[in-house]
């Protein structure tokens, strides 16, 4: 029952983000962001499940392939919430940075990385087995793998960087579709980044 509650909560949170986007942006912005985020989550997590070297998902009620349905909604909601929060902070304290190509993606990545900590630690992902890491992973802060905040932050940066580049051409159906397809490239880049960071963490831990 707990897994069902978590899945429903994540889906509700994503729905609220979609409504916020629809009211404050426009339809093609919203479609590009949330369909792209869902595709990113589901395709990426299916690839991860086939690799067998990162984590597994033993306790979820609904799956698409080997990926829990929750992951598609969860990645979308975390990207959007972090982007909105970081943009508000930049508007208030550093509007000039927001105008730079790296400003919003970088600050959103920082917020997303921080968001990963309560999800992994306070929300008890290891205890509830939403996902289970291998026994040889390098841990920090109780049971949270050191890789986690870097992985979340990298995903947000890449997703939002490409989203801004594509949608800057105009909020149209064609650009929304282009970005959704582009998320496949984002997945490849992100997984490459994750394995590079994991290698660096293992090397540092072994010193």
DSSP 129-143: TSSB--TTS-EETTT
Residues 6+ apart with CB under 8 A from 108: 79, 82, 83, 85, 86, 87, 156, 157, 160
**Residue 26 per-residue DSSP state:** -
Report domain extents, the chain.
Answer: 2-205
Q: 68: helix, coil or strand? A: strand
- In angstroms, the CA 205 to CA 188 distance is 26
CB atoms within 10 A of CB 187: 22
Q: DSSP states of 74-104 as a string?
A: HHHHHHHHHHHHHHHHHHHH-HHHHTSTTHH
Tokens of 14: 């994503």
Q: What is the pLDDT of residue 207?
A: 62
Q: What is the pLDDT of residue 124?
A: 59
Q: 56: helix, coil or strand? A: strand
For residue 120, which of 95, 93, 147, 100 has the smallest C-alpha distance? 147
Average pLDDT per run of 10 along the chain, which is 207 residues long? 80 97 97 98 95 84 92 96 96 91 96 90 65 82 85 98 96 98 98 96 85
Task: Identify the burial level of 180 via C-beta atoms within 10 angstroms of its C-beta, where 0-12 means exposed, 13-18 middle and 19 or more buried.
Answer: buried
- In angstroms, the CA 21 to CA 127 distance is 33
- In angstroms, the CA 207 to CA 203 distance is 7
Q: What is the pLDDT of residue 106?
A: 97
Q: What is the pLDDT of residue 133?
A: 82
Q: Which residue has the tokens 């609220």?
A: 16
Q: What is the pLDDT of residue 198?
A: 94
């Amino acid at each position: 029952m707990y897994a069902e509650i978590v899945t429903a909560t994540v889906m509700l949170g994503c729905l609220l983000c979609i409504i916020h986007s629809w009211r404050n942006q426009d339809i093609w912005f919203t479609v590009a962001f949330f369909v792209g985020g869902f595709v990113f989550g589901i395709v990426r997590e299916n690839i991860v499940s086939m690799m067998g070297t990162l984590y597994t998902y033993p306790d979820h009620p609904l799956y698409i392939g080997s990926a829990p349905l929750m992951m598609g909604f969860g990645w979308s909601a975390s990207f959007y919430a972090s982007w909105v929060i970081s943009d508000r902070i930049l508007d208030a304290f550093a509007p000039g940075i927001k105008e730079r190509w790296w400003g919003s993606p970088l600050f959103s990545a920082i917020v997303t990385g921080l968001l990963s900590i309560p999800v992994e630690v306070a929300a008890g992902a290891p205890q509830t087995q939403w996902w289970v890491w291998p026994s040889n992973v390098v841990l920090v802060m109780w049971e949270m793998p050191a890789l986690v905040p870097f992985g979340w932050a990298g995903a947000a940066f890449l997703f939002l960087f490409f989203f801004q580049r594509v949608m800057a051409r105009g909020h149209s159906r064609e650009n929304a579709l282009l970005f959704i397809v582009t998320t496949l490239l984002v997945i490849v880049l992100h997984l490459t980044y994750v394995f590079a960071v994991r290698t660096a963490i293992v090397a540092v831990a072994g010193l």
